[in-house]
Amino acid sequence: MPALILDGKQVAQRSESELSDRVAALKAKSDGRTPVLATILVGDDPASATYVKMKGNACRRVGMESLAIELPASTRTNDLLREIEQLNQNPDVHGILLQHPVPSHIDERACFDMIALEKDVDGVTCLGFGRMAMGEPAYGCATPQGIMRLLKHYELQLEGLHAVVVGRSPILGKPMAMMLLEANATVTICHSRTKQLDQLVRQADLIVGAVGRPEFIRADWIKEGAIVVDAGYHPGGVGDIELSALSERASALTPVPGGVGPMTINTLIQQTVESGEKALG
């Protein structure tokens, strides 16, 4: 039986229609004000510039505004911290996105943690992660939160499943594991240096590829009927999992591209709308 395709692009488009209505309603009762997402791009990395442009376009599609801040690669940590602090204090800004990665001489963690919790719509602060992990209100990291929304849309039951997350980054693998745990899955966290990784993956009812290496997770490691979520994207249009051989083996899978990626951007926009509603509503 063919795998159910978890179409993130389609789900994101449906969500944008709903978000457009919410933004319009907010404008009607707040004298035309809309949620505003501030994006900060440091340096001239073309991939990062493309991602920031895509996020700005997504804002405009739902009627929101975006504030694009571009800083030179020579920007120092203190300069960036001051820029973020100004946005924290700006009542017209409801969400702040610092595009990852920043140049290596900048203390990225310090800059992430300067973002005010109520404007941390990308879910990158230590405080936000801690609150999310404790089941307290916070905006979740955009990619894992987008994955959870995608699984919920297709009514995939997670309770009691053995989920294996391959990857441990602070903005993907670790929060993904915490969100799945909160959904009553049993979670194993692995990474590129895990011994006998193939044997652990074979136990997974749900596998999340978040290791950042093209097709690192092989199709023959994955058991029949597993739910397969690929959060990677690499040149050539491949992800972290060897998906081509899984169309008849998995019970459900995310395509690459068109699966997790659109949900990441849509979640960022959704959380900015929520922040705007709290501030303006």
Q: Which parts of the chain fold into alpha helices (H)? A: 8-29, 46-61, 77-89, 108-114, 126-133, 142-153, 173-182, 197-201, 260-280
Is there a single domain that holds both residue 148 and residue 255?
Answer: yes
Q: How many residues are there in the chain?
A: 281
268: which 2 tokens?
Answer: 């960022």
User: Does residue 9 fall inside a structural domain?
Assistant: no
Q: In whole angstroms, give the CA distance from residue 106 to residue 95.
A: 21
Residue at which a domain ends, from 122, 153, 183: 122
User: Does residue 180 fall inside a structural domain?
Assistant: yes
State the CATH number of the domain containing residue 41.
Answer: 3.40.50.10860
Is there a single domain that holds both residue 156 and residue 116?
Answer: no
Is there a single domain that holds both residue 116 and residue 147?
Answer: no
User: Does residue 83 fall inside a structural domain?
Assistant: yes
Residue 104 domain boundaries = 31-122
Torsion over CA: 48, 9, 167, 185 (sign): positive
Q: What is the pLDDT of residue 281?
A: 78
Is there a single domain that holds both residue 105 and residue 151?
Answer: no
Q: What is the pLDDT of residue 104?
A: 96
What pTM does this model have?
A: 0.96
Is there a single domain that holds both residue 103 and residue 181?
Answer: no
Q: What is the mean pLDDT of the chain?
A: 96
Is there a single domain that holds both residue 98 and residue 154?
Answer: no
Q: In whole angstroms, give the CA distance from residue 239 to residue 253.
A: 12
User: Does residue 6 fall inside a structural domain?
Assistant: no
Q: What is the pLDDT of residue 166?
A: 98
Residue at which a domain ends, from 91, 122, 153: 122
Is there a single domain that holds both residue 171 and residue 93?
Answer: no
Residue at which a domain ends, from 90, 122, 154: 122
Our count of domains for the chain comes to 2
pLDDT in tens, 1-55: 899 999 999 999 999 999 999 999 999 999 999 999 999 999 998 989 999 999 9
Q: Are 138 and 123 in contact (CB under 8 A)?
A: yes
State the CATH number of the domain containing residue 197.
Answer: 3.40.50.720
Is there a single domain that holds both residue 167 and residue 100?
Answer: no
Is there a single domain that holds both residue 155 and residue 253?
Answer: yes
User: Does residue 127 fall inside a structural domain?
Assistant: no
Coil, strand, or helix at residue 49? helix
Q: What is the pLDDT of residue 107?
A: 98
Cα angle 114, 120, 121 (rounded to 5 degrees) comes to 155
Q: Are 228 and 5 in contact (CB under 8 A)?
A: no
Q: What is the pLDDT of residue 38?
A: 98
Is there a single domain that holds both residue 80 and residue 149?
Answer: no
Burial class (CB in 10 A: 0-12, 13-18, 19+), 229: buried
Residues involved in catalysis: 55, 99, 122
User: Does residue 95 fall inside a structural domain?
Assistant: yes
Neighbours of 162 (CB within 10 A): 15
Q: What is the pLDDT of residue 279?
A: 95
Half-sphere exposure of 95 (CA within 13 A, CB side): 32
Q: Is the peptide bond before 103 cis (omega within 30 degrees of 0)?
A: no
CA 44 from chain center: how many Å? 22
Is there a single domain that holds both residue 116 and residue 148?
Answer: no
Is there a single domain that holds both residue 176 and residue 79?
Answer: no
Q: Is the peptide bond before 101 cis (omega within 30 degrees of 0)?
A: yes
User: Does residue 185 fall inside a structural domain?
Assistant: yes
Spans of the chain, pLDDT less than 70: none
Alpha carbon of 269 to those of 18, 54, 57, 170, 275: distances in Å? Answer: 12, 11, 10, 21, 10
User: Does residue 22 fall inside a structural domain?
Assistant: no
